[in-house]
Amino acid sequence: MPITRNVTLDIMRTVAIVLMVIFHFAYDLRFFGWVDWSVPNGPGWKQFRYVILSLFFLSVGASLVFAHHQRVDLKSFAKRIMWIVVWACVISLFTYWFFNSHWIFFGVLHFIAVASVLCLPFARYPVMACFIGIGIITLFLTNVVTSKWPFNLWELGLPSSPNDYVALFPWVGVVLLGIGVGHMFIKGIDPCASLKLSTKITFLGRHSLAVYVLHQPLFFVTLGSVYWLSHSVM
């Protein structure tokens, strides 16, 4: 029996991508010196980012279930991962050029690619996924494993304070919990189904990769142009 779209999952993705766009816009305003907000690691902003990542990675786990709960489709999985890796590399090159000492070597897309590969074997086993996910989060919260693992094991010449760094611990655990959420969704649990939202409202969430890749270059071109014009007139 085919599974229709889950409204709650679409809303989760949409809220996550909208909040991330807001977060990055605030960061860019600070980058160009128009505000003095403590983005991204100041009080409030750090917690805001945690909310965004939690929604994103729960959605990643749930999406693995929707795509592979009956059988693992390696062809479609490999194709999607390939595109994510390509765009992750583009982002690394872009940020190396503009930010240099803070370039993104393991950001959201890098993490999603790696976490998807690690978590795919558990897509059909929600109980195991949740237990392992809770274990990974516990290891992080008890400081058994740090957020820098495994990049702290070698001298790689990576930036000490990169932009948009996403740690394997604890976030892989959140993706695994998302697998548990996904299995609830495919059983018909959809708290937001009664909202009967237009698909236009969740358009951004259903095209989150494209939005994620495009919004920062657009912000930089727009804000950079305004910054250049404002300073050239002075």
pLDDT tens digit string along 213-228? Answer: 999 889 989 998 998 8
Helices (H), 120-197: 126-141, 168-186
Task: Give the confidence band of 234 by pLDDT, cuts at 50, 70, 90.
Answer: low
pLDDT average, residue stretch 15-26: 96
Task: Give the confidence band of 202 by pLDDT, cuts at 50, 70, 90.
Answer: confident
Q: Which class for 142: exposed (0-12), middle (13-18), buried (19 or more C-beta within 10 A)? A: exposed
Q: What is the pLDDT of residue 180?
A: 98
Q: 51-64 burial string, b = 16+ CB within 10 Å, else e?
A: ebbbbbbbbbbbbb
pTM: 0.92
Q: Is a pLDDT exceeding 60 seen at residue 2?
A: no
Q: Is a pLDDT exceeding 50 seen at residue 92?
A: yes
Q: Which residue would you say has higher pLDDT here, 1 or 43?
A: 43
Q: By percentage, how much of the chain surpasses pLDDT 70?
A: 96
- Give the SS3 label for residue 16: helix
CA 146 to CA 139: how far, in whole Å? 9
